[in-house]
Structure 1
């Protein structure tokens, strides 16, 4: 369910939880409304749903906590090589048949570069997993940044009493890293967009005000329900071959596709201009 909510949120906001920060850094119109919606989603989850959804712990024997190598009786290295080859092969095949440069004109020079290779960028993002695991002993995940941001309100005693479940996200190195990673995404996006003479991005690249806000709300709400977003579950969890992460990721894209298909059939607006 959490994954499906993220999928619907991605269609509405035109973003996943992580790229909300990227959109903010690029000056995209209404991206701050998406962030505001995400903050409200965190408040709603920890204020009304958290205690109800986490009342009973998931038993360790649950399939969602199992890893594919254990279930299939196959060595991890073989499955990692298989999935890695499939994903990398698919990425290069798509780039070969549908080159990303067909979507825009890419002038020469850094100052006018408007797009980088999605394949190389994807490999770079995936490589961050190794960096995080070796240096910080944690997996890559960015939706927690919204939670940590809201949790800073717990430094105020009255708010801490109001939503005590947010207190664990207030202090600590791990929480600080999540926040720094989010701010780094904003800064990196600004540098990239400004260097390409594209700052701020034109409004045609963003969603409408209401879609941005409600999309952001569903993004963070879904991420909290699913225990991670496209980075936490989709990248980190799938990297570890967790069954629960595979289910959540399938829910994200399945939910988004079904919502997009339903919206298109009803409104005949397949380009989502009304959003």
Structure 2
């Protein structure tokens, strides 16, 4: 039994190198699949360089828009895109760079002006995108991607239309700026009002200086009271007995104030009566209208 197991083990060992070589050749053949249009293999570091092809692949193959994906989801789908690219399973138009599609078809957001643009406007927009891309992305893309960018088709990535999230962020930033500006204007106006008030009445004493000023004023008042002596208030007999012109003047002022109060009370009563009359008239008008509606409904519906 042991000799049979040893012979089987020796046959497996004699067969294993050739078997491994055949597996290696099949693996190398799967890795050497020719890519259409003479394109070069890509890697995950070509995320920005191949963003246009990636957007088209997402829309056509996965029925998704790049602007609606999160960063993690976009990276996950790009890894699948890299595998399909290197296996030559993508449409030839993606390898050759012939993906001239309008930017509006690469986003789920619908712009109101897209249906009004002409062919000349689209050509001008494409030319502007190429100029901006040449000035901003071409040099950085070559330095980051190395040989892969050097062997690419030379097409330059340009700016795309803003997504819905970009528009929302811009609107929120504008609202925050407006609120900050309004708060600043309110604080500035309050400060100017305070400065004008201090110019009129002078600055208010605070802290130790304010306390000392209050104590000085109290000492001056006490000193003036003590200097009058112990004789009390200086009043003549007419004032003490209720006579004099000042007493009669106070009586006259009291009577005048009473008359003014009575006049105001009468005017108030008149206003209340007028308001009641208006309210009664409105209620009577509403009652008449409702009676008319009830009569019409009774005649129509029985």
**Which TM-score applies when normalising by structure 2?**
0.19
**Which TM-score applies when normalising by structure 1?**
0.21
**Which entry has the higher C-alpha Rg, 1 or 2?**
2
Higher relative contact order (CA 8 A, sep 6+): 1
